[in-house]
């Protein structure tokens, strides 16, 4: 793979280093720097041979753990800052690459994916901007709304899901008897269906009733969750969504499921942002609102958060490496999305004789 080069930006270093190691560090790694001036402005520098190479830029725009100084004050990098650095890296290469792919698991501005009245359509604008800069392909994971790719119909847009990887860990470590999959809202039903297809179980959904007369933090506040679906009493529940932000909504769902007699409640989210910290969620777990959280390492999670016994972070670096190799070698991505190995693992667990305990 002499023509494959990887730029793992500092905001994605932990996963990026693993991917570079798996692909062959001396061959694929590209040295670069992103610098900041004291007034907050920045620049990027790329060194090494990139002419005629296929470049993969890896970035976690949600990483708030990186800081820079402006006017002598420490500032956390925002998604806007990270996205600007992606553009700087592209500009630094000055069109020398043969092909440019941006690997952005947490798609920038993905929640601002549709326009209502006089407001910005930021995700579409960002995709257009990357296309205009010469990017050939976007690789993302569990995009909030994959239909946003319609904004750039000629740009290759690959959206993958971590369903297989997360379910593999759940099957290995949790009780998979008497399961039920729950979608916390109607928008997450497609994700829930991926889980039901593998597990062969039914699904339920909550309808979020909002107060349309008020706007709080840019959205109508949720006033009630109305459940629609099969009986949850005595069931082991898997609640599936793309992200946990403040956690308020998913904790409400967990609380109502427990009140209805659910046994264990496992929360699954591709991205755990924890925008209001982890204390509230930790207290809710101790109060029995939910039992476990399964998430990925595709966006930044502070190390002290990972120490929580209820938080299970699934490594996605192997899958992302295989995605990059497969696409670079112009092979079919269909095998990457196959559910057969996970289904086989579940079948083996279900057919395994249960050990009797004697007192």
Q: Which tokens is 211 given?
A: 């107060």
Q: How confident is the model at residue 187 (pLDDT cuts 50, 70, 90)?
A: confident
Mean pLDDT confidence for 225-235: 90
CA distances from 329 to 177, 325, 333 (A): 41, 6, 10
DSSP 8-state secondary structure symbol assigned to residue 357: P
The CA dihedral of 269, 275, 276, 278, to the nearest 10 degrees, is 40
Q: Which tokens is 120 given?
A: 């910005």
Is the pLDDT score of 75 beyond 50?
Answer: yes
Model confidence pLDDT, tens digit, residues 40-68: 999 999 988 899 999 999 999 999 999 99
- Judged by average pLDDT, the poorest of 212-226, 269-283, 316-330 is 212-226
Crossing angle for the helix pair 13-23 and 317-328, to the nearest 10 degrees: 50
Could you tell me how many residues make up the chain?
359
Percent of the chain beyond pLDDT 70? 94
Is the pLDDT score of 208 beyond 90?
Answer: no
pLDDT at position 111, please?
84
Supply the mean pLDDT for the chain: 91
The CA dihedral of 18, 22, 23, 28, to the nearest 10 degrees, is 40
Q: How confident is the model at residue 1 (pLDDT cuts 50, 70, 90)?
A: low
pLDDT at position 54, please?
96
Dihedral of alpha carbons 259, 265, 270, 272, sign: positive
Beta carbons of 84 and 75 less than 8 angstroms apart: no
Domains of the chain: 4-160+318-332 (3.40.50.2020), 163-314 (3.40.50.2020)
pLDDT at position 357, please?
45
The phi, psi pair for 190, rounded to 5°, reads -65, -40
Beta carbons of 171 and 164 less than 8 angstroms apart: no
Mean pLDDT confidence for 291-298: 98
pLDDT at position 114, please?
73
- Judged by average pLDDT, the poorest of 26-40, 148-162, 201-215 is 201-215
Q: Which tokens is 187 given?
A: 């928008």
CA distances from 342 to 97, 106, 337 (A): 38, 24, 11
* Model pTM score: 0.91
Mean pLDDT confidence for 144-152: 91
Mean pLDDT confidence for 264-290: 96
Q: How confident is the model at residue 117 (pLDDT cuts 50, 70, 90)?
A: confident
Q: How confident is the model at residue 214 (pLDDT cuts 50, 70, 90)?
A: low
The phi, psi pair for 41, rounded to 5°, reads -70, 155
pLDDT at position 20, please?
94
Q: Which residues pair with 33 in a beta bridge?
A: 45
Q: How far apart are CA 152 and CA 175, in angstroms?
A: 43
pLDDT at position 175, please?
92
Q: Which tokens is 262 given?
A: 């659910």
Is the pLDDT score of 195 beyond 90?
Answer: yes
Mean pLDDT confidence for 317-345: 95
Q: How far apart are CA 32 and CA 30, in angstroms?
A: 6
Model confidence pLDDT, tens digit, residues 338-351: 999 999 999 998 88
Q: Which tokens is 304 given?
A: 């002290």
Kindly give the residue spans of alpha helices, DSSP state H, lying in 133-225.
163-173, 189-199
């Amino acid at each position: 793979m002499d023509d494959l080069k990887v730029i793992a930006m500092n905001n994605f270093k932990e996963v990026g280093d693993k991917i570079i190691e798996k692909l062959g560090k001396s061959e694929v790694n590209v040295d670069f720097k992103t610098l900041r001036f004291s007034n907050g402005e920045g620049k990027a520098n790329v060194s090494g041979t990139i002419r005629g190479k296929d470049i993969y830029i890896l970035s976690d725009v949600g990483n708030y753990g990186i800081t820079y100084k402006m006017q002598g004050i420490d500032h956390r990098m925002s998604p806007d800052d990270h996205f600007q650095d992606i553009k700087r890296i592209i500009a630094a290469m000055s069109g020398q690459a043969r092909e440019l792919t941006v690997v952005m698991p947490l798609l920038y501005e993905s929640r601002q994916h549709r326009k209502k009245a006089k407001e910005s359509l930021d995700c579409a604008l960002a995709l257009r901007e990357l296309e205009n800069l010469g990017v050939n392909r976007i690789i993302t994971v569990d995009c909030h709304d994959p239909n946003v790719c319609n904004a750039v119909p000629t740009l290759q847009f690959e959206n993958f899901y971590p369903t297989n990887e997360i379910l593999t860990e759940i099957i290995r470590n949790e009780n998979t008897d008497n399961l039920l999959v729950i979608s916390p809202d109607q928008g997450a039903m497609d994700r829930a269906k991926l889980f039901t297809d593998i597990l062969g179980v039914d699904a339920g959904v909550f309808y979020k009733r909002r107060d349309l007369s008020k706007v709080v933090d840019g959205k109508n506040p949720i006033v009630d969750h109305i459940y629609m679906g099969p009986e949850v009493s005595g069931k082991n529940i898997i609640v599936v969504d793309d992200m946990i932000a403040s956690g308020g909504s998913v904790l409400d769902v967990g609380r109502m499921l427990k009140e209805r007699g659910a046994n264990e409640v496992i929360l699954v989210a591709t991205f755990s942002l924890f925008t209001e910290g982890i204390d509230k969620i930790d207290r809710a777990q101790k109060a029995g609102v939910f039992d476990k959280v399964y998430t990925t390492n595709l966006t930044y999670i502070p190390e002290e958060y990972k120490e929580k016994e209820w938080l299970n972070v699934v490594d996605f670096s192997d899958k992302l490496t295989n995605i990059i190799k497969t696409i670079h070698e112009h092979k079919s991505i269909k095998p990457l999305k196959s559910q057969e190995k996970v289904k086989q693992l579940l079948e083996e667990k279900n057919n395994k004789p249960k050990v009797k305990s004697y007192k």
